[in-house]
Structure formats: structure tokens, C-alpha cells
A and B are shown apart, each in its own frame.
Chain A
Amino acid sequence: EAGVVQSPRYKIIEKKQPVAFWCNPISGHNTLYWYLQNLGQGPELLIRYENEEAVDDSQLPKDRFSAERLKGVDSTLKIQPAELGDSAVYLCASSLNPAGKETQYFGPGTRLLVL
């Protein structure tokens, strides 16, 4: 079974430029998560989707970040414009149902460097 797929794995951009990350969850997983992981810290949730609906986006900085999950499968996270402080690893995860006792499966992440 294929795991969570993310692309690109690495991205280097200049500040004020836009950037987008793509995630394809495990087949059949209804719930998709985007996390932000700063260096030396644990991941923090940005947004959670159940099917195509964003059910928790309270920690997404909406002035510059946006996300979509068309058709309830793959998802795109966008930053526009990027700032130096956005340099981090962006992780995508999926679970069969909303996680409580459910296991979340993580992709390898996209490492973003903003210069």
C-alpha cells in the first residue's frame, strides 16, 4: 500500500514569492492534515480536512496561507507571499477517520527555505 505522498521534497524560494505544496493521502483515508514543523520542535496542526471540508483551520494564518482539497482526495497548501519565518518542514498526514484513537500516517514532508 502506498503511503502519503508529498511533493516537492525541498523548495528554496526568495521572500515575497508564492509557493505551493502538494499531498496525496493514503487511498480511502477521509481525513487529511497539514502540520508545520519548525526546527527542533514537534509538528503543529495548520488545518484538518474531513473529505473536502476544512473542519479545523483555526491555526492557519489566513492572511498568507490557503489550502484546498478538491474532490476530497489530494490537497494543496499555498503560501503567498512567503516570509523568512515560514522556513520549516510542512507535513501532510492522513487517517481513515477523524483521529482520536485512529493512527495518523505522515508523508516525508516538504522542507521549505525562504531566503
Chain B
Amino acid sequence: GDSVTQMEGPVTLSEEAFLTINCTYTATGYPSLFWYVQYPGEGLQLLLKATKADDKGSNKGFEATYRKETTSFHLEKGSVQVSDSAVYFCALTSGSARQLTFGSGTQLTVLP
């Protein structure tokens, strides 16, 4: 079945540091890929998505590129802020399965 593997956390960075959170997937066909973010006390929010190979999703300074050859969708940001502290989830939907399949999440803490 479909699965998503995320870099384990927690990750602690200083403000303005470069962020990478690794995500790889296993799926049949051509999945759509997503990054969701969960701020403390809030629900999951879509951060960005990509629906076909080589697409780049971007939002709020975050980027991720759909790499079919490496089955990856790594999240990057050039300069993190304290306000980026949250849990980040990589997820996918694939052809026959309508639901999102999530990774286990990565806790990010950004220190001033």
C-alpha cells in the first residue's frame, strides 16, 4: 500500500537558518504530494502541493519539488523564522485511494 516516510524530529534551528525536511514515498501510479503544517493548538493547514513530476510547490518561502526518480518531496526554506515553529506533515493521495496518507510528522522549533 501507499506510505510516506519523513525525517524524524525534533528539529531545532536558529532563526535565519536553512531548513530541509526529507520526505520519501511509496505509491502506485502518479500520486499528488502535499505538505501540511500544524501550529500549536490549531488544525492542519495545507502549506503546498504538487500534482505531477517535476512540479514545484511553494508558499510562504517554503518549497518542495516532486521528484519521481527518487520518489521524494523534500521541504526547504532558505531562512526560517520563529513563527515557523510547528509540526510538518508530508502526505500523498494516489489514484485509487482518495484519502490522504500521512507521514509521522516532523516537529520544528526555531529559536530566536
Contact = CB atoms under 8 A, between A and B. Distances in A.
Contacts of B112: none
Contacts of B104: 40-42
Contacts of B61: none
A68 B89 CA distance: 28
Nearest to A46: B99
Contacts of B49: 101, 103
A101 B34 CA distance: 9
B93 A100 contact: yes
A99 B43 contact: no
B43 A4 contact: yes
A45 B95 contact: no
Interface in B37-68: 41-46, 49, 51
B91 interface: yes
Contacts of A100: 32, 93, 95, 98
Interface string A34-46: 0100001111110
A112 interface: no
Given A4-B43, A100-B93, A103-B49, A42 B105 contact: yes
List 6 tightest A-B contacts by C-beta distance, closest first: A42-B102, A45-B99, A106-B44, A108-B43, A106-B43, A101-B51
30 contacts: A3-B43, A33-B99, A35-B100, A40-B104, A40-B105, A41-B105, A42-B4, A42-B91, A42-B103, A42-B104, A43-B100, A43-B102, A44-B102, A48-B98, A48-B99, A55-B98, A56-B99, A91-B43, A91-B44, A93-B44, A99-B100, A100-B32, A101-B49, A101-B51, A101-B93, A103-B34, A104-B46, A105-B46, A107-B43, A108-B42
